[in-house]
Amino acid sequence: MAALHVRGDVPHARRDLADAARITCFDTGFILTASAAALARVHLEAGRPGQASEAVEATLHRLERTGGWAWATQVVPTAVEALHGSGQPARARQLVEDFAAGIRDRDAPAARVALTVGRALLAEADHRYDEAATLLARAADDWRRLHRPFDAARATEARGRCLLHARQPRDDRERSDGPGHAGRERQAEGQVAGRAAGGVGERQKAAVDIILGAIEAYRALGARWDVARCHRLLRRHDIVTTHRRDRLGYGDQLSPREQEVARLVVQGRANRDIAESLVLSPRTVEHHVACIMRKLNVTSRTGIAAAHLAAHAAPEPRATAACVCPGALARASSGAGPGR
């Protein structure tokens, strides 16, 4: 989970989560449901709702057989998104009904909040955005009372998303992020000229403020992957929250985003893996790699790794040796150019 939300290392997280699902194949508790939910979330963010649905299928069957719904807090909301996104709305509704029945007589406050989130996601999928936003606001407050800030941030993000969609024409909504559709607009990233958030209506501005609040909550938790997802949501709605002129001040220095990309290049990561980890399109990553090469005056990914090694070795050679893993140059050199 740390690899996913903190480091944004999606390939590593995906492998660990798949291993966790195999190891806990006879478990009906938190580890099984949480690992299945996180793996499904990775697929949803990459625009693969079908694979997300497959990732939770075995866990849902086990919950149905054992009645262990009190442990389904993490997996049910994600499964609702996956099922809707893969064209199974009736199954999603049945899942929420089964979840409600399974916890009806249980002392499971977290599960009850998750039920509220599940119902909100059903409302969002049916384009009842104001109803969904109201349920999500309640869920966020309940998560905070349970001292679960990450879940509160996720509910806040979803609430802002619903309010943004409520202000869109229907045709635009259907192309935007909703349950199971997190990756649909990835190819359109960067093709729309942004306008400042101050130019939108008051209700949309309120929605943007809610999402910015979620971003701050994620940052406080170190959840970089989730911060990137929120920024991508705002970009899809043609909302820019930073001034473009600020980005011109880096000159020949790497911008913060370029530093993130360079760090992953040094680890030997391919552009597609970097894109998945940073919630960017592969073409955007290719552009960043090209800019990094130009700024570092190198012509290959090996050059990026060598420059990184040299820059970090200057102050404390011994400390840096531990920062750049053995074989980094060799792995980075496996891609000859920015378009790997």
pLDDT for 24: 52
Judgement on whether residues 24 and 163 belong to the same structural domain of the protein: yes
Q: Is residue 213 part of a domain?
A: no
> Residue written as tokens 């679960």?
148
> Cα-flanking dihedrals φ and ψ of residue 184, to 5°?
-65, -35
H or E element, residue 256:
helix 256-266
> Cα-flanking dihedrals φ and ψ of residue 150, to 5°?
-65, -45
Rounding to the nearest 10 degrees, give the CA dihedral for residues 100, 106, 111, 117: 30
Instruction: Provide the 8-state DSSP code for 195.
Output: E
**pLDDT at position 243 over 70:** no
Judgement on whether residues 179 and 252 belong to the same structural domain of the protein: no
Helical residues (DSSP H) of 106-188, grouped into ranges: 109-125, 129-145, 149-166, 170-173
Q: Is residue 75 part of a domain?
A: yes
**Nearest alpha carbon to residue 301 among 309, 276, 282, 12:** 309
Residue finishing a domain among 186, 209, 236? 186
pLDDT for 23: 54
* 253-291 CB burial, b ≥16 within 10 A, e <16: ebbebbebbbbbbbbbbbbebbbbbbbbbbebbbbbbeb
CA angle, residues 288, 51, 2, in degrees to nearest 5 = 55
**Distance of alpha carbon 115 from alpha carbon 305, whole angstroms:** 47
Residue 214: CB atoms within 10 Å: 26
Q: Is residue 217 part of a domain?
A: no
Judgement on whether residues 29 and 153 belong to the same structural domain of the protein: yes
Query: Which pLDDT tens digit goes with each residue over 117-130?
Result: 999 999 999 999 99
Higher-pLDDT residue of 186 and 84 is 84
Higher-pLDDT residue of 326 and 280 is 280
Query: Which pLDDT tens digit goes with each residue over 128-173?
Result: 999 999 999 999 999 999 999 999 999 999 999 999 988 665 545 4
Q: Specify the 3-state DSSP secondary structure of 336.
A: coil
Judgement on whether residues 152 and 64 belong to the same structural domain of the protein: yes
Residue finishing a domain among 186, 211, 235? 186
What whole-number percentage of the chain has pLDDT above 90? Answer: 36
Judgement on whether residues 154 and 274 belong to the same structural domain of the protein: no
**pLDDT at position 191 over 50:** no
Residue 219: CB atoms within 10 Å: 14
Residue finishing a domain among 161, 186, 211? 186
* Longest Cα separation, the chain: 66
Judgement on whether residues 149 and 18 belong to the same structural domain of the protein: yes
What whole-number percentage of the chain has pLDDT above 70? Answer: 70
Residue 305 · residue 332 · CB < 8 Å: yes
Q: Is residue 204 part of a domain?
A: no
Judgement on whether residues 181 and 256 belong to the same structural domain of the protein: no
Q: Structurally, how many domains does the chain consist of? A: 2
Instruction: Provide the 8-state DSSP code for 327.
Output: T
The whole domain housing 77 covers 2-186
Q: Is residue 337 part of a domain?
A: no
> Residue written as tokens 């979620």?
214
At 88, which amino acid appears? Q
**Distance of alpha carbon 161 from alpha carbon 154, whole angstroms:** 11
> Cα-flanking dihedrals φ and ψ of residue 253, to 5°?
-85, 150
Q: What is the pTM of this model?
A: 0.64
How many helices, marked H, and strands, marked E, lie in the chain? 19, 2
Judgement on whether residues 45 and 177 belong to the same structural domain of the protein: yes
Q: Specify the 3-state DSSP secondary structure of 222.
A: coil
Q: Is residue 238 part of a domain?
A: no
Provide the pLDDT confidence category of residue 273 given band limits of 50, 70 and 90: confident
